[in-house]
Structure 1
Amino acid sequence: MVYPNIEEIFPLLKNLVSIPSPSGNTNEVITYVEKFLSELQITTRRNRKGGLIATIEGKDSSQHRMLTAHVDTLGAMVKEIKPSGRLKIDLIGGFKYNSIEGEYCQIETSNGKKYSGTILMHQTSVHVYKDAGKKERNQDNMEVRIDEKVHSEQEVRALGIEVGDFVSFDPRVEVTPSGYIKSRHLDDKASVAILLQLMKQIKTENLHLPYTTHFLISNNEEIGYGGNSNITPETVEYLAVDMGAMGDGQSTDEYTVSICVKDASGPYHYELRKHLVRLAEENNIQYKLDIYPYYGSDASAAIRSGHDIIHGLIGPGIDSSHAFERTHKSSIENTAKLLYHYIQSNLIQ
């Protein structure tokens, strides 16, 4: 059995995480994906929200499948320019301020200029602030130090920086000799890379899918509504490919594909879950079943928006989600294998 070339996924993933794409500012990364698929001669179109839909015709065009992964990431936006020339920020997506303390960042102005900076506590210096370690990590105390000679609000505005400018975080991506990949934004660019490599395999191996299949690269998942539209009336099954959440009480790990049975939105479709488990067991794919208590996906967003679909969620296991994330190539591989078999399987009846 030939599976998607796992080694090709890693450089693709490194490229994806290196393109800043906080929710609301995803055109550059969508253009990258669009070009990748165009070179494979895969038909794509953008929806009005800015997401990308790729379609591969199947033997049966009366019933469709849709798979989705999201390319938008956590980030921030300039909330206020302080008199000191530092920036107050407002968060984009569900994460905590402590997870970005000390991180290098990029500020992109509305006219396209980009400036580097660092996200720090105002009370960082222990030589000055006696309570530096005790202050709360929050919007009032954290700020962006811009790497420019600015000491006032006026000097910052002279650079073109304004309220509403996007702030993205340095991914610090690294692939280790032991097979780990650690980076910000593996949620969900690891899954995007897997789907892109899967589509490449479909084209290069001339695989004939049983059903017309859409691949939605959504761009608003982190804020709750990336994959809740542009679902064709013929779509029967909708599978979100997103990270598996790890932590105390979780079965998900960095080495298997995680099959979600329930998240904050409720249970996923029972028969589809059992179908995915059968495919995994029949093809010696390592998997874990899990519940993600504080989690929602594009599939759950699609259900909430009223679509009459069978919905599911799988993905690679990601450690330290919404912070300094990490996974292993074996988790990427097991996820890719399950998707490979899923797209060639029969629909749930």
Structure 2
Amino acid sequence: MPRLAIDAQYLTDQLKALLNIPSPTGYTDTVVRHVAKELERLGLTVELTRRGAISALRQGSRRASARAIVSHLDTLGAQVKRLKENGRLELVPIGNWSARFAEGARVTVFSEAGTYRGTILPLKASGHTYNDEIDSLPVGWDYIELRVDALARDRTELDRLCIEVGDTVAIDPQPEFMDNGFIVSRHLDNKAGVAVMLAAIESMERTAAATPVDIHWLFTIAEEVGVGAASILTPDVASMIAVDNGTSAPGQNSSEFGVTIAMADQSGPFDYHLTKKLVRLCQDEDIRYQKDIFRYYRSDSASAIEAGHDVRTALITFGVDASHGYERIHTHSLRSLAELITAYATSPVEIERDRNIHAGIKGFTRQPAVEAAQARAEDLDPAE
């Protein structure tokens, strides 16, 4: 079956709804409920792990050698490190992101007493007081603090607000959806990937698309801190595709348009055969694509492999400018990704041997050019 038509309005509506739900790693219950309800509305069977990662099953013609598609629900954020004597809060980051992009952010602090609004500021924030020192202050989490929008002039008043060390701080996304298709917001990594997956599911349900094997739609809750898909896969899953952001920056080949297929990240190359299949699907279905390698990047795929899961993995991305900062993407990339997911989900299984966890050499894949040439000369199946 070729790629399916994607409802672009549904996709952007889901992204807007997701961005409105704070979900820094460790504070994801609300977004999990939102996505789980939408998956059930679309007709999928939903299960949660103990901590809340989602596995939604869409049945195919068989269970063996099932496929998985994964995105993560958690985002960057911060935690209260210390209550300061000046009534401000010292912070530590949740996930790996620069304090440069924290300065000036509007935030919500989640405390036992409720929520408080606030702003992250440099330690020297007033030019009228510090003059040129505001420009010479170093960049780093040791040089910023959170000003709470409540009566908090000292440590005692912070205590009265019931703000405590370890409280979660969510960063406002400040989304802007532009008429020319660009979307600017924090947390597009990876709320956009989740919206892409939902749009692909909606398209498949709307068209009653059949798949040759079961599809496991996975939504993890701790990718930003390296946990990702470590414990959500089942033994029947033979291949997994992660949907995440690609870095469109100088020296990179990613783009804010089309699909960027990752060939490798800091954990090493992605599966040769699965990646080749995704490229071929883009070519066959006229989906714009490019390839890239990410040196300072890991995804749900890395955590699954490191946890010991013997699955083929690949990474398909939407190009993001200024990742982990004030991010920008384009709807063209999101639609292209959703189209590729539908094309992959409905495509035939090519490596039948993958239905077995362990098997003999018969049916094992061929990789080097010399072996492929030999197979052609001997009129063998390239997978035998």
TM norm structure 2: 0.89
Match of 1:73 in 2: 75
CA contact (8 A) 1:271 1:348 kept: no
**Secondary structure of the corresponding residue to residue 128 of structure 2:** coil
Match of 1:134 in 2: 136
The aligned amino acid for 1:115 is Y
The CA distance in 1 between the partners of 2:318 and 2:275, in whole Å, is 16
CA drift of 1:79 comes to 0.4
CA 1:345/1:127 → structure 2, altered by over 3 Å: closer, same or farther? same
Match of 1:217 in 2: 219
CA drift of 1:348 comes to 4.2
Aligned mate of 2:267, from 265, 268, 274: 265
Mapping 1:34-183, distance limit 5 Å: 34-111=36-113, 113-130=114-131, 131-183=133-185
CA contact (8 A) 2:4 2:204 kept: no
Deviations 1:5-63 (A, max 9, x none): 11211111011011100001100101110111122231101112321110111101122
Match of 1:312 in 2: 314
The aligned amino acid for 1:100 is A
CA contact (8 A) 2:54 2:219 kept: yes
CA contact (8 A) 1:272 1:348 kept: no
Aligned mate of 2:18, from 16, 20, 24: 16
Deviations 1:114-142 (A, max 9, x none): 11100000101111113111111223220
Deviations 1:311-347 (A, max 9, x none): 1000211110000001011111111111110101123
- RMSD over aligned Cα, in angstroms? 1.1
The aligned amino acid for 2:122 is M
Aligned mate of 1:303, from 293, 298, 305: 305
Identity %: 37
After the TM superposition, list the runs of 4 or more consecutive aligned residues in structure 1 that deviate by more than 6 angstroms: none
**Secondary structure of the corresponding residue to residue 62 of structure 1:** coil
CA contact (8 A) 1:182 1:327 kept: yes
Aligned mate of 2:254, from 252, 255, 258: 252
The CA distance in 2 between the partners of 1:288 and 1:157, in whole Å, is 53
CA drift of 1:153 comes to 1.1
CA drift of 1:299 comes to 0.6
The aligned amino acid for 2:66 is H
**Secondary structure of the corresponding residue to residue 238 of structure 1:** strand
Higher mean Cα deviation, 312-321 or 1-10?
1-10
The CA distance in 2 between the partners of 1:126 and 1:45, in whole Å, is 53
Match of 1:7 in 2: 9
* Residues 1:206 and 2:208 are matched in the alignment: yes
CA contact (8 A) 2:200 2:339 kept: no
CA drift of 1:187 comes to 0.4
CA contact (8 A) 2:24 2:76 kept: yes
The CA distance in 2 between the partners of 1:257 and 1:110, in whole Å, is 43
CA 1:266/1:348 → structure 2, altered by over 3 Å: closer, same or farther? farther
The aligned amino acid for 1:325 is E
The aligned amino acid for 2:38 is F
**Secondary structure of the corresponding residue to residue 132 of structure 1:** helix
Higher mean Cα deviation, 183-192 or 41-50?
41-50
CA drift of 1:152 comes to 1.1
The CA distance in 1 between the partners of 2:325 and 2:219, in whole Å, is 22
**Secondary structure of the corresponding residue to residue 290 of structure 2:** strand
CA drift of 1:225 comes to 0.9
The CA distance in 1 between the partners of 2:215 and 2:206, in whole Å, is 16
**Secondary structure of the corresponding residue to residue 28 of structure 1:** helix
The CA distance in 2 between the partners of 1:110 and 1:22, in whole Å, is 17
The CA distance in 1 between the partners of 2:8 and 2:344, in whole Å, is 17
The CA distance in 2 between the partners of 1:165 and 1:30, in whole Å, is 20
Higher mean Cα deviation, 35-44 or 8-17?
35-44
CA contact (8 A) 2:261 2:289 kept: yes
Aligned mate of 1:32, from 13, 31, 34: 34
The aligned amino acid for 1:137 is V
